[in-house]
Amino acid sequence: MSDRDCYCGEPRGGDVGKRLRLAGWAARRRDHGGLIFIDLRDHTGVVQLVVNPDRAPEAAAVAHAVRNEFVLQAEGEVAARAPDAVNPNLATGAVELQVDQLRILARSDPLPFQLDEENVDESVRLRYRYLDLRRDRMQHNLRLSATVIAAIRRYMECRGFVDVWTPNLTKATPEGARDFLVPVRLQPGRFFALPQSPQLFKQTLMVAGFDRYYQIATCFRDEDLRADRQFEFRQLDVELAFPSREDVLDVIEGAVCTSFEALGREAPRRPFPRMPWVEAAARFGSDKPDLRLDLEIRDATEVTRGSQFGVFAGAPAVRYLTVPQAFSRAELARLEEVARGFGGKGLAYVVFAEDGDVRSPIAKFLSEPELDAVRADPGSTVLFGADQPAVTERVLGALRLHVGRELDLVDETRDELLWVTDFPLFEWSEEEDGWHAAHHPFTGIRPGDERLLEVDPGRAVSQAYDLVWNGWELGSGSIRIHDPGLQQQVFRVLGISDEEAERRFGFLLEVLRMGAPPHGGFALGLDRFLALLAGEPNIREVVAFPKAASGSEPMTGAPTPVPDEQLRELGIQVIVPPG
Ligand code: ASP
């Protein structure tokens, strides 16, 4: 027989007079001299148990021993509460259980924190994650996640996608991070890599004739942890054969909107806007602009070409941001620090004060037409970036977000989804003195730009696209290269010789030579998406057992050293003693 007839959050006025068995955790016990009240809790809510020593002396004796988070089973009769004891804030607030029998099913040690305590340090929450998960916030987040994932699966199945599992023990899959390696006992000195994504497997599946693939895939990337980054994370991984770009975007938009609807929320309007990367960078100084913030970067390069202000006259690009606030000198000094942090050499500005005054160390060098070109309403400040175009974008993009937050200019009531498209194919790496794939090396090239591979790779535009929600990158994808010759050419631009390409990606080149259809896809970062849907500031809040910022898993204590014997079997010698 089950320990309970219903959940704690279920009894209602209509149940008065019924006999019920309830089970759950003791959220609170109040001893009122004679009567003992216990709030019994499970994930559905709380119900009040009343133990009356006159009615049930044995139960009362048990109730005295109850402490917070003991697991209890109570049997009794549902009774209406006295009118002045009705709690309108509680779904079960009209009733209580008059207890006849009370059993302690499990005890709890004194708790490291009370479950209703706010602002518990995250290290404590992660150390005692099972207690943290018992709380409303995490119950809500994980259940919300499950609802969304179930809806996405249903949607993908309906659209004809086939769920295919791909290996976790595999070969390096370059997504720009370090690999996690797994030693192989049967082949000492050899290592599997955990996949940074199923990228090459999903491309292979297209060649294998599965023209619509999806998977909720776990990916592993060894990089520093942040609010939106964990070593392992989930992706809704998708690939289609014979798609147009719009086909891919349409599938993903559908998955996003389905998720909103599964939570009873109004779905964002479709199609989501599309914006080429060049425009996103120029207008918002970002490849993931937060469009809830109406500030835009403008260009003043032409108008300042012959400026008396030497910095402007000589700069390859002069851009500016108009902020609706007349900043003080001290505030501007702080903004200058922000600008410097992002590579700016300083921060030129013009303040248009409320009283009509123009305050600026550079105004005296600016001609009337120059000043007119940037003139703003009284009570505004114009912040300039004068440098290489990419530097002005980076600095003004950072200032845009900074002042947006500081001045509360982000409209939190809006949801802004955006496709950023047409990224460059390559980025120049000063450190390595060579080209890097801006996405990954399998990203398709804008038709017509293939010829640039040999002469000017930096100008080649890709067929990559990112999905951005309120300034968070939700994921990326592309139409892929399906021509093995072109793939090899891209490897060469990346400084990967034909021999190295054969060694690292020989199987892919072989696959592409065996009848590869045009294909493309996308990967939606599920944890980020779920965190945003849950209104959480970081992805740890939607992951049951996340790593702490240090990279450890505080509940189990992983990672741990392993016995010498195990290492010997694997043929591994540790040269840095574990700290
Ligand atoms: N594999 C890519 C990633 O994980 C996504 C894609 O191109 O489909 O970011």
Mean pLDDT, range 460-487, rounded to an integer: 97
Torsion, Cα 542 544 549 554, to 10 degrees, reads 160
The β-bridge partners of 434 are: 429
Q: How far apart are CA 255 and CA 14, in angstroms?
A: 40
Q: How far apart are CA 294 and CA 279, in angstroms?
A: 15
d(CA 504, ligand 1 centre) in Å = 18
- Of the residues 197, 204, 251, 443, which should be mutated to test ligand 1's pocket, given the most ligand atoms within 8 Å of the CB? 197
Mean pLDDT, range 482-509, rounded to an integer: 95
Q: What is the pLDDT of residues 382-427, one digit of tens each?
A: 999 999 999 999 999 999 999 999 999 999 999 999 999 999 999 9
- The minimum-distance atom of ligand 1 relative to the CA of 478 is 7
Mean pLDDT, range 433-451, rounded to an integer: 96
What pLDDT sits at residue 528?
A: 95
- The minimum-distance atom of ligand 1 relative to the CA of 199 is 1
- The minimum-distance atom of ligand 1 relative to the CA of 196 is 4
The β-bridge partners of 437 are: 426
Q: Is 436 within 8 Å of 429 (Cβ atoms)?
A: yes
Q: What is the pLDDT of residues 193-225, one digit of tens each?
A: 999 999 999 999 999 999 999 999 999 999 998
- Beta strand spans in 258-403 (E): 274-276, 297-299, 317-323, 349-352, 358-359, 380-387
What pLDDT sits at residue 172?
A: 84
Q: How far apart are CA 499 and CA 506, in angstroms?
A: 9
Q: How far apart are CA 104 and CA 70, in angstroms?
A: 7
| Band (124; pLDDT cuts 50, 70, 90) | very high
Answer whether 521 contacts ligand 1 (Cβ < 6 A): yes
Q: Is 124 within 8 Å of 112 (Cβ atoms)?
A: yes
What pLDDT sits at residue 226?
A: 86
Mean pLDDT, range 142-154, rounded to an integer: 98
d(CA 258, ligand 1 centre) in Å = 21
Sign of CA dihedral 496, 502, 504, 508: positive
d(CA 526, ligand 1 centre) in Å = 13
Cα of 108 vs its chain's centroid, Å = 35
Answer whether 220 contacts ligand 1 (Cβ < 6 A): no
Answer whether 349 contacts ligand 1 (Cβ < 6 A): no
Tokens standing for residue 269: 């309007």
* Number of Cβ within a 10 Å radius of residue 522: 25
Answer whether 523 contacts ligand 1 (Cβ < 6 A): yes
Q: Which residue minimizes the CA distance to atom 1 of ligand 1?
A: 199
What pLDDT sits at residue 32?
A: 85
Mean pLDDT, range 261-274, rounded to an integer: 97
Whether 175 has a pLDDT exceeding 90, the answer reads no
Mean pLDDT, range 3-8, rounded to an integer: 96
Mean pLDDT over each residue of the chain, to the nearest integer? 96
Place of tokens 């999806």: 214
- The minimum-distance atom of ligand 1 relative to the CA of 237 is 8
Whether 1 has a pLDDT exceeding 80, the answer reads no
Q: If we measure between CA atoms, which residue out of 288, 462, 334, 318 comes closest to residue 385?
A: 318
- The minimum-distance atom of ligand 1 relative to the CA of 475 is 9
Answer whether 213 contacts ligand 1 (Cβ < 6 A): no
- Of the residues 205, 223, 476, 479, which should be mutated to test ligand 1's pocket, given the most ligand atoms within 8 Å of the CB? 476
d(CA 239, ligand 1 centre) in Å = 10
| Band (332; pLDDT cuts 50, 70, 90) | very high
Q: Is 165 within 8 Å of 210 (Cβ atoms)?
A: no
Whether 311 has a pLDDT exceeding 70, the answer reads yes
Answer whether 477 contacts ligand 1 (Cβ < 6 A): yes
- Of the residues 161, 166, 173, 199, which should be mutated to test ligand 1's pocket, given the most ligand atoms within 8 Å of the CB? 199
Mean pLDDT, range 353-374, rounded to an integer: 94
Answer whether 444 contacts ligand 1 (Cβ < 6 A): no
Answer whether 173 contacts ligand 1 (Cβ < 6 A): no
* Number of Cβ within a 10 Å radius of residue 567: 14
Tokens standing for residue 126: 């992660």
Whether 579 has a pLDDT exceeding 80, the answer reads no
Q: Is 350 within 8 Å of 382 (Cβ atoms)?
A: yes
Q: Which residue minimizes the CA distance to atom 4 of ligand 1?
A: 197
| Band (187; pLDDT cuts 50, 70, 90) | very high
* pTM score of the predicted model: 0.93
Q: Which residue minimizes the CA distance to atom 8 of ligand 1?
A: 522
What pLDDT sits at residue 578?
A: 59
- The minimum-distance atom of ligand 1 relative to the CA of 480 is 7
Q: Is 547 within 8 Å of 225 (Cβ atoms)?
A: yes
The pLDDT > 70 percentage for the chain reads 99
Answer whether 197 contacts ligand 1 (Cβ < 6 A): yes
Cβ neighbours for 514, distance < 8 A, ≥ 6 positions apart: 207
Backbone angles phi, psi at 326, to 5 degrees: -85, 100
d(CA 427, ligand 1 centre) in Å = 17
Answer whether 437 contacts ligand 1 (Cβ < 6 A): no
Tokens standing for residue 379: 């009570």
Sign of CA dihedral 140, 145, 147, 148: positive
Answer whether 522 contacts ligand 1 (Cβ < 6 A): yes
What pLDDT sits at residue 362?
A: 95
Mean pLDDT, range 131-159, rounded to an integer: 98
Task: Provide the 8-state DSSP code for 363.
Answer: G
Q: Which residue minimizes the CA distance to atom 7 of ligand 1?
A: 477
d(CA 522, ligand 1 centre) in Å = 6
- The minimum-distance atom of ligand 1 relative to the CA of 443 is 7
Q: How far apart are CA 318 and CA 327, in angstroms?
A: 21
Residue 342 CA: distances (Å) to CA of 338, 400, 443? 7, 12, 29
Q: In what order do the strands lie in the sheet with 417-421?
A: 162-163, 212-220, 232-241, 519-525, 472-479, 464-469, 417-421, 274-276
What pLDDT sits at residue 228?
A: 83
- The minimum-distance atom of ligand 1 relative to the CA of 235 is 4
Q: How far apart are CA 360 and CA 435, in angstroms?
A: 41
* Number of Cβ within a 10 Å radius of residue 534: 20
Q: Is 395 within 8 Å of 385 (Cβ atoms)?
A: yes
Helices (H), 271-351: 277-284, 310-314, 329-341
Tokens standing for residue 526: 């599920």
* Number of Cβ within a 10 Å radius of residue 176: 12
d(CA 199, ligand 1 centre) in Å = 6
d(CA 525, ligand 1 centre) in Å = 9
Provide the terminal-to-terminal Cα distance of the chain, rounded to the nearest Å: 51
d(CA 482, ligand 1 centre) in Å = 16
What pLDDT sits at residue 227?
A: 80
Tokens standing for residue 258: 């389905």
